[in-house]
A and B are shown apart, each in its own frame.
Chain A
Amino acid sequence: MRYIATILLFALKYIALKLAFVPLAVILWLCWITAANYRKLSLAKSDVELDKIDQMLAGIKDKLPMDAKIGFRTNIDPGRRGVLYFKSTLILAPRILENNDRDTILLIEDPHLQPVLDKNYECLERGGNQELNYCLMRRRN
């Protein structure tokens, strides 16, 4: 305890002697707003779509080996397709998500749009959130 008190006293003396009050106040303010911002960014309320898709696809990450190559499909328009493809690629990396069909396909669907139906594939895993559904499909033998 005595050692801690000595160290604290030394630190206080150093601050009092070496630092002027205004710069110290600026530094403390800077530290506080930086810490507050990083805390805010780590809260669930700061989650963006990428975090929501990440939570949605959490279940299938364990089922796919790290060097898996899977295809990607969606029922959403081409502009939005790119967004979902890149976000899914980031989430599933280092697995390779191809922007076309393979034996295993990740299908992401907007539940309000026409669903993708393909009799050649069977759904292995299904899930979703309020905005999107997903299905991990395997080609039928």
Chain B
Amino acid sequence: MLFFAMLACVLVLFAGTSLSLTKTCGLSGPLRFPVAFALVLVILSYGYYLGLLFQIQIGILLLSLGLPPILYLAFEKYKSRQLNLSFPKKIGSKNLAVLLAILVLTIRFNKYVYRWGDWDAWAIWNLHAKFLFYPEHWRNIFTASLAETHPDYPLMLPSLIALFWRGLGFVTPLVPVAIAHLVLLAIPVTVYLALKRAMHSFAALLSLLIFCVDTTFIHIGGSQYADTLVAFFVLMTFVLYQETKVSSNRRLVFVLGIVAGSTSWIKNEGMLFFLVFSFSFLCFHFKKPAVIFRYILGALIPFIIVIHFKLKLAPANDLIHGGREKDLLSLISDPNRYWLIIKHFTMTGITDYWIMLLLVMIVLINKMPVIRTLPFMAISLVLVGYILVYLTTPHDLDWHLGASVDRLFHHIYPAAVYLFLLKFSENREIRLWS
């Protein structure tokens, strides 16, 4: 019974959010569905976390999450005398490509996925979700004895898993699988719809092909880690940013702030992205205080939740804290560490992200003006941040790089594919060689 109530809550949230994106933010067309999907994930995650924090019963929580969209939908129906959710009524040849891509991705995802996922999925994300499943004992995760399980990691994925487990009434590995599946599919669909919206049909089809043939992308998605969720939110941030550039509706900037800020609620790397994106956004819009105000207003909600979590609940992070100030200088001044980082970045780029390297080369050959753009600045700063984290890591550098570089590139990969294809489509005269 509770599960059906939860499903109904999710559905009305999705319907209400997608309708409000059209009515209040002017985001019409099918792109509003992936944006609504991202916002529903954000609302459910914050809702469940705040429910734990304030000891709200699950039934009351679902009611408080589901009632506002029901009232909003009813209000819209009353206002227009006709409830038009404007879901796509005709699924014809125009959407066949995206349907086929979803099919191929699902077939390939099914090959890689297995119960409880890879190491981090059960040792971190599902483990945290298991604690959050128990509303009276969830704070046990923050005891010092469990420091090895990284209780300082943000809780978006664990809270989503725990919420659906609560709805079902039992713990099952199918919930993290379903979430990983949906998030994996959301990425190519978002890139496709965003490029289609910009009238770049060929680039949109090409993006589907890229994601369907990319084994690394599907493999990381199937591992059930939070990295694909970070990649989805990073991509969504840039998609919304591009939308704010062409849309006259400034409320979309508020949504951009929420989505960008929520990246920090997924992983600590998301926090780095949020900081550098916000910095870049401020640099590019410092002459528009109203725009900055809306962005900050949107980002404030996730920011307060993450800051409260980090300061009041989470223990210190193993990479940042630990009284290592004296070691840092010797670590940063060691040329071997730079060489090792360059080696791992290059090897991972060639073996797993050659498509991204190819796209970078096309940009360089064509001398495209990308340097003075916000996405270039943000992604470059993220990469600089990654290098600084590796330089100062207390772990064995070779092991740390080997265990994480591919996943760090995965965070920016869908956004990079989207941005490059958008840039190429805007520039009609592209040479593939000089």
In residues 163-209 of chain B, which contact A (Cβ within 8 Å)?
Answer: 172-174, 177-178, 181
B373 within 8 A of A: no
A30, closest chain B residue (CB):
B103
| Tally of contacts, chain A with chain B, CB under 8 A | 110
A46 within 8 A of B: yes
B90, closest chain A residue (CB):
A18
Q: Which residues of B contact A99 (CB under 8 A)?
A: 145, 148
Q: Which residues of B contact A22 (CB under 8 A)?
A: 93, 96
Q: Which residues of B contact A23 (CB under 8 A)?
A: 91-93, 95-96, 99
A12 within 8 A of B: no
A27, B177: Cβ atoms closer than 8 Å: no
A26, B106: Cβ atoms closer than 8 Å: no
B115 within 8 A of A: yes
Which residue of B113, B130, B140 is within 8 Å of A90 (Cβ)?
Answer: B130
B99, A30: Cβ atoms closer than 8 Å: yes
B319 to chain A, nearest CB (A): 19
Q: Which residues of B contact A93 (CB under 8 A)?
A: 127, 130-131, 133-134, 140-141
Q: Which residues of B contact A37 (CB under 8 A)?
A: 106, 110, 113
Interchain CA distance A28-B71 in the complex, whole Å: 34
Q: Residues 88-99 of chain A: 1 if any B CB is under 8 Å from the residue's CB, otherwise 0?
A: 011001111111
A118 within 8 A of B: no
A19 within 8 A of B: yes
A86 within 8 A of B: yes
A129 within 8 A of B: no
A38, B115: Cβ atoms closer than 8 Å: no
The size class of the interface chain A forms with chain B is 35 or more
A86, closest chain B residue (CB):
B123
Known contacts A23-B96, A34-B106; A41 and B115 CB within 8 A of each other:
yes
Known contacts A22-B96, A26-B100; A48 and B143 CB within 8 A of each other:
no
Q: Residues 22-53 of chain A: 1 if any B CB is under 8 Å from the residue's CB, otherwise 0?
A: 11101101100110011001100011101100
B149, A51: Cβ atoms closer than 8 Å: no
Q: Which residues of B contact A77 (CB under 8 A)?
A: none
B354 within 8 A of A: no
A69 within 8 A of B: yes
B43 within 8 A of A: no
Q: Which residues of B contact A34 (CB under 8 A)?
A: 106, 110, 181
Q: Residues 58-102 of chain A: 1 if any B CB is under 8 Å from the residue's CB, otherwise 0?
A: 000000001101000000000000000111011001111111000
Q: Chain B contact residues: over half helix, strand or loop, or mixed? A: helix
A20 within 8 A of B: yes
B95, closest chain A residue (CB):
A23
Q: Residues 61-93 of chain B: 1 if any A CB is under 8 Å from the residue's CB, otherwise 0?
A: 000000000000000000000000000011111
Known contacts A22-B96, A37-B113, A48-B115; A66 and B136 CB within 8 A of each other:
yes
B114, A33: Cβ atoms closer than 8 Å: no
Q: Residues 146-161 of chain B: 1 if any A CB is under 8 Å from the residue's CB, otherwise 0?
A: 1011000000000000
Interchain CA distance A46-B91 in the complex, whole Å: 35
Interchain CA distance A43-B113 in the complex, whole Å: 14
A89 to chain B, nearest CB (A): 6
B138, A94: Cβ atoms closer than 8 Å: yes
Q: Which residues of A contact B130 (CB under 8 A)?
A: 90, 93-94
Interchain CA distance A66-B133 in the complex, whole Å: 12
Q: Residues 278-314 of chain B: 1 if any A CB is under 8 Å from the residue's CB, otherwise 0?
A: 0000000000000000000000000000000000000
A66, B115: Cβ atoms closer than 8 Å: no
B102 within 8 A of A: yes
B223 within 8 A of A: no
Q: Which residues of B contact A33 (CB under 8 A)?
A: 103, 106-107, 110
Q: Which residues of A contact B102 (CB under 8 A)?
A: 30
B177, A41: Cβ atoms closer than 8 Å: yes
Q: Which residues of A contact B91 (CB under 8 A)?
A: 18-20, 23-24, 27
Interchain CA distance A70-B136 in the complex, whole Å: 19
Which residue of B100, B113, B149 is within 8 Å of A41 (Cβ)?
Answer: B113
Q: Which residues of A contact B89 (CB under 8 A)?
A: 18
Known contacts A26-B103, A41-B115, A67-B140; A94 and B145 CB within 8 A of each other:
no
Could you jot down 19 A-B contacts, CB within 8 Å? Answer: A19-B90, A19-B91, A23-B92, A24-B91, A27-B91, A33-B106, A33-B107, A37-B106, A38-B178, A41-B113, A46-B114, A48-B116, A69-B143, A85-B148, A93-B133, A93-B134, A93-B140, A94-B131, A98-B146
A contact residues vs B (CB 8 Å cutoff): 18-20, 22-24, 26-27, 29-30, 33-34, 37-38, 41-42, 46-48, 50-51, 66-67, 69, 85-87, 89-90, 93-99
| A-B pairs, 10 with minimum CB distance | A94-B137, A86-B123, A93-B130, A98-B145, A37-B110, A94-B134, A90-B127, A26-B99, A94-B140, A23-B91
Given A30-B103, A99-B145, 8 more contacts at CB 8 Å?
Answer: A48-B116, A66-B134, A86-B122, A86-B123, A86-B149, A90-B130, A93-B130, A94-B140
